[in-house]
Amino acid sequence: MFSAPALLPFLVVALGLGLVPAQQPQVRPPEDPQAPVAPSSLRLALEARDGSLRSLTAKELDFPSLAAAGAIALRIEAGPALPPPGDPAARAFLGLHGGDRLVAAVRGGDGDRLDVELAGSVAVPLDVLDLVSLVFPARGDAAGFEAPASGDRLYWVRPTGFDKLDGTLEGFAADGIEFESVLGRRTYPWAEVAALYVEPLGAPKPAAGEDGAACVDLADGGRLHARVEKLGPDGVTLALDKRRKLVLPLAALRELTLDDGSVRFLSTLVPSEVREGYFDADGEALGLDWPFQADRAVTGGPLAAGGRLWARGLGVHAPSKLTFALDGSWKSLRGAVAIDDSVHLLAYKGSVEFALHLDGKAEPAWRSGRVRGGDAPIALPALALEGVKQLELVLSMDERSFVADRADWLRMLLVR
């Protein structure tokens, strides 16, 4: 069931697109929406298993897969952003199976097929089996929408608000959504649709570990799991399944990572223990805690540090300790730490210390020293994890005040 908290990843994207009031600072200069993005303006990096980076231009990118390039990830280090797709009123957040999501302009559909367009004018034919939710944030407060316990649900825009219709999605059409409810079967025009929730029926996804399987983090906050068929100067060719392929321009990407089981972002794991906020001498919580956020800042906004956005990481607030149970098979951990750029909106910028503890040892395996708001992200040194069964991420106040101690564990990547 999709509740308001489940929509937070989509609202994060909305902040970046200006569809809802922004609570985060602008960390990228505005781009001319009419200006084409030249591949030569992009800076790319291939990340090897040992953590080394190979910088290259788009023209030098010519591989059938990440493995053929000797890399576990392709990162877009710098370059202009593509303009968001379509008119803001027709732009939607789509929740897909497996936690995937897209920001797209809805172009219509036919039966079980929904036609959407991504940034860069990339047309994507989605199947109804792919879809979990479809929300148009420009048409209302998405925090008030939620999925039914069973069946499908349509939020219909009316002059004074929304009508919530429970029933069955019958299909898509060029002019709207065909939906059956207590009002009968009818077509609801796209302009009158605020949100749609579809009961999950189970759609096949590319299996983690299959040849070419990868996770694609998009520059606009979207995410896809697909099979890579080619990396080239014109973009990345992906196979969504046996019959659907698409080519994403490089400027549409933030990162492409192997999904073969040999690498995994820490933010995809559920902590075995979470300790946040302040406690008295008896161990009773005193409140003042900020729940950690996976792949977004602790405030709920996008991870922003060092003047750039990050697709992966953990947003926390001091003091906090996140404990992860490992199986001893991971060889190393890499990543970076920083105070989130959102503190630039505050009078006080924060001051913290990060530390990593292995297998419950009191002495940290790594400690950052004092980190202040506005400092550049600090890269972790090579941290060996062979045989390690427990990893603790500890964030401490570095000064008496805890104000603005919004911190980011950035791109924490486990590697075998």
pLDDT tens-place values along the chain, 416 residues long: 334 444 444 444 444 433 333 333 333 333 333 344 555 678 999 999 999 999 999 999 999 999 999 999 999 988 788 888 888 888 999 999 888 999 999 999 999 999 999 998 999 999 999 999 999 999 977 778 999 999 999 999 999 889 999 999 999 999 999 999 999 999 999 999 999 999 987 545 544 556 789 999 999 999 999 999 999 999 999 999 888 999 999 999 999 999 999 999 999 999 999 999 876 666 666 666 789 999 999 999 999 999 999 999 999 999 999 999 999 999 999 999 999 999 998 888 899 999 999 999 999 999 999 999 999 999 999 899 999 999 999 999 886 666 789 999 999 999 99
Same structural domain, 256 and 270: no
Query: Do 393 and 287 share a structural domain?
Result: yes
pLDDT at residue 281 in the model: 63
pTM: 0.85
Residue 254 lies in a domain: yes
Residues 245, 285, single domain; the answer is no
pLDDT at residue 133, as a whole number: 96
Q: Residue 251's beta-bridge partner residues? A: none
141 lies in the same domain as 227: no
33 within a domain of the structure (yes/no): no
Does residue 223 sit in the same domain as residue 354? no
Long-range contacts formed by 172-176: CB under 8 A, 24+ apart: 172/108, 172/109, 172/110, 172/111, 172/112, 172/113, 172/114, 172/115, 172/128, 173/108, 173/109, 173/110, 174/108, 174/109, 174/110, 175/108
**pLDDT tens digit string along 5-56?**
444 444 444 444 333 333 333 333 333 333 445 556 789 999 999 999 999 9
Same domain for 342 and 238 = no
130 & 183 share domain: yes
| 193, 157 Cβ separation under 8 angstroms | yes
What's the confidence (pLDDT) of residue 140? 78
Q: CA dist 5 to 48, 104, 142, 410, Å?
A: 36, 21, 10, 22
Same domain, 287 and 380: yes
**Which CA distances in Å does 132 have to 10, 173, 200, 385?**
13, 18, 6, 37
Q: How many domains does the chain fold into?
A: 3
Within a domain: 107: yes
Same domain, yes or no, for 284 and 159? no
For the chain, the straight-line distance linking the first and the last C-alpha, in angstroms and rounded, comes to 34
Residue 34: inside a domain: no
pLDDT of residue 40: 63
Predicted confidence (pLDDT) per residue in 166-178, tens digit: 999 999 999 999 9
| Domain's final residue, options 197, 221, 236 | 197
Range of the domain at 50: 39-69+209-260
Same domain, 95 and 132: yes
